[in-house]
Amino acid sequence: MVWWILLAGFAITAITGVPIGIGLALTGMAILQFVVGNATDLAVNAVWNVFTDFTLSAVPLFIFMGEIMLVSGVSGKLYSAVAPLFTRVPGKLLHTNIAVSALFGAVSGASTSTAAAIGSVAYPELEKRGYKPSVVVGTLAAGGTLGLLIPPSLSLLIYGATQQVSIGQLFLAGLVPGLMLAVMMMLYIGIVTSRTAGVVPDDGERVGLRPALRLLLPIWPIGFLIFAVLGTIYTGLATPTEAAGLGVAAAVILGFLWGDLTGHKLWNAFVHSVQVFVSIGVVMLGALILAQAISILGLPLEVMSWIESMNLTPIMVLVLVSVFYLVLGCFFDGISLMLMTLPIVFPVMTGVGFDPVWLGVIITILIEIGMLTPPVGMNLYVLTGITGNRVTLLQAAYASTPFWILLLLGVVILTVFPSIVLFLPRTLF
């Protein structure tokens, strides 16, 4: 009966368009009421315990910090400073889309914010220079996914807060895989553009390495902001929540002194960050209620028993979970998908022997793939909007398909070599 309630709840939520958080909450309450037996008060305790956790308060702060960076014009300064580094490399400014997205991801923490911030600067410039529009959108959508993996990452932060995994270790764990994926994307761009004519225009612009490096000097304030957030966490000077507060303060100071932040823009950033957190918070609330119901009934143990009876190896379980995320990624946004699946996926995956820190990075990459998968590929929607629909959703999806494959290849590499994820957390913690 429980599984029928779960399936019915998910189906009704998807078909009727009920907000995901509400659908999850109602499903969990139905299980607690009709299966467990008048135990809906347990849902209140579960929600209260997590929402009053000091660690969780870092989530709205990191969202606010990203919004401040988005409205203060910092992305334009970053793009102008980094672009000359790639004028001599096959692919030219397409590499800049990836590099600046990775750098902006270190002060944003969200995929769509990164795609919007860099896309609003890069697309008009590259279109004017004669770059193929769909390819530009594909690289921007792929680069945007790095914002969800490179710390500070909202995905890793929420994962750690809800599953009681060290956020400091998760942030360290996401650093090397994020840079690895960025390098893989840039290598692909270099190979394809060197073999395919017409993708990148030959504008004759060439900047030497020394002048290009000098142009990076004016963006040193970004280093100050990155240290305020990540440096204080890694050195043990601040908790993730305290570092998020420092990040907001540093972003405001930089926005006024270095960017074009105004009081009106700051207020708009605050309002939008509240709206974003409310949408995430509602999903989190529903997921917590459902998780409480699932844990009381011991459903993860049932799944584990089924896995043991099927003689599935840990790798087979990982493949099944990956396919599960790839399919659902077509219909749900990343954070919602993660929250609604973790109550079963986390205990099952850790139960078969996977490290919880490693698992957080893998799940983040899997939901990043959903950011590039229609019909609910959020990065694709954001960027097609920036183009004024001159690049259609299908064109954007087709152009981002190679990067979709690269992200999946990244999961394979990190599975074969888990030390890529775990080396820094185990060394520094």
Phi-psi region of 309 (alpha: psi -120 to 50; beta: other; left: phi over 0): alpha
pLDDT beyond 90 at 239? no
Q: Which of 2-16, 67-81, 220-234, 308-322 has the lowest mean pLDDT?
A: 2-16
pLDDT of residue 376: 63
pLDDT beyond 80 at 3? no
* Tens of pLDDT, residues 244-280: 899 899 889 988 988 888 999 999 989 988 888 888 8
* Tens of pLDDT, residues 88-132: 788 888 888 898 888 887 777 677 778 887 888 888 888 888 888
Nearest-angstrom CA–CA distance, 125 and 128: 5
pLDDT of residue 86: 84
pLDDT of residue 101: 86
pLDDT of residue 392: 85
* Tens of pLDDT, residues 309-343: 788 889 999 999 998 888 877 777 777 788 878 88
Q: What percent of the chain has pLDDT over 70?
A: 93
Distances (CA, A) of 358 to 52, 308, 342, 420: 27, 22, 14, 9
The SS3 call for residue 87 is coil
Is residue 104 within 8 A of residue 136, CB to CB? The reply is no
Counting the structural domains of the chain, the total is: 1
Confidence of residue 165 (pLDDT cuts 50, 70, 90): very high
The winner for highest mean pLDDT among 65-69, 133-137, 177-181 is: 177-181
Residue that has been written with the tokens 């710390």 in this structure:
151
With 0-12 CB in 10 A as exposed, 13-18 as middle and 19+ as buried, what is 206? exposed
Q: Which of 35-49, 50-64, 144-158 has the lowest mean pLDDT?
A: 35-49
Q: What percent of the chain has pLDDT over 90?
A: 20
Q: Which of 77-91, 104-118, 172-186, 384-398 has the lowest mean pLDDT?
A: 104-118
Confidence of residue 176 (pLDDT cuts 50, 70, 90): very high
Q: Give Rg (Cα) of the chain.
A: 22
In degrees and rounded to multiples of 5, residue 131 shows phi and psi of -70, 150
pLDDT beyond 80 at 167? yes
What's the mean per-residue pLDDT of the chain? 83
Is residue 240 within 8 A of residue 228, CB to CB? The reply is no
Range of the domain at 204: 2-428
Confidence of residue 184 (pLDDT cuts 50, 70, 90): very high
Confidence of residue 218 (pLDDT cuts 50, 70, 90): confident
Nearest-angstrom CA–CA distance, 366 and 51: 26
pLDDT of residue 350: 92
SS3 letters for the chain? Answer: CHHHHHHHHHHHHHHHCCCHHHHHHHHHHHHHHHHHHCCCHHHHHHHHHHHCCHHHHHHHHHHHHHHHHHHCCHHHHHHHHHHHHHCCCCCCHHHHHHHHHHHHHHHHCCHHHHHHHHHHHHHHHHHHHCCCHHHHHHHHHHHHHHHHCCCCCHHHHHHHHHHCCCHHHHHHHHHHHHHHHHHHHHHHHHHHHHHCCCCCCCCCCCCCHHHHHHHCHHHHHHHHHHHHHHHHHHCCCCCHHHHHHHHHHHHHHHHHHCCCCCHHHHHHHHHHHHHHHHHHHHHHHHHHHHHHHHHHHCHHHHHHHHHHHHCCCHHHHHHHHHHHHHHHCCCCCHHHHHHHHHHHHHHHHHHCCCCHHHHHHHHHHHHHHHCCCCCCCHHHHHHHHHCCCCCCHHHHHHHHHHHHHHHHHHHHHHHHCCHHHHHHHHHHC
